[in-house]
Structure 1
């Protein structure tokens, strides 16, 4: 409930899964990630952000990617609290990265100077996961199937 009292930002963005499907124009509301950075008093030299989930899942994201204006810690989806299956109570939304980077059931955020694999990165997925660059796998040696139309 304390998070809901913080300044909120609304974004409407497409959501992209690494397997090739997308959902068009999802409305998210949440705390601008730049505000989280300010509140955490992030120190110089940070290069990575690790997101931790209630179920032990982790996702690592390059620090530069969370500095974009449309990156938030979402608390609402399409006008209501995020449904449990979509990550209640909170999840990062980083629209230009694949969905696996937006860890559901967020419990902790850690700012790192050195890279550490997250859950899917340990299994060969790309360190960044940029949708528009089709960054699915480390080394980009094996690309996944082409993106399918928006749902």
Structure 2
């Protein structure tokens, strides 16, 4: 009995480690889904190689993606923005009465529910800070 217990423990450890390492190195399910649909067929080789090359994404498509409605030019998440560089953002805040008399403490690029936004921290006189998200279309959502 004394010989079986260490062997069983060693065997259980080997099986557990093998099971854990399989999950860590298994790439299935780790790829992020693409936002753009694919138009190529993957069933078999094409009769003409040039037809397959025209169906794939080209560098021109990525430039169009950066100018989609709701995108912010030069967006880089976490990047700091100077208020003088975004007069449209300052104007959007000035249109709302509750933010009109507040000063801008900081502006950074941030994603909000997968949408590009400016994360603006405002402060009124003698008040706590008020974070808000301002989108490219000028809409404002209070932050948390």
TM range (shorter): under 0.3
- Specify the structure having the higher radius of gyration (Cα): 2
* TM-score, scaled to structure 2: 0.27
Higher relative contact order (CA 8 A, sep 6+): 1
Query: Which of the two has greater strand per residue?
Result: 1
Using the size of structure 1 for normalisation, the TM-score is 0.26
* Structure with greater proportional helix content: 2
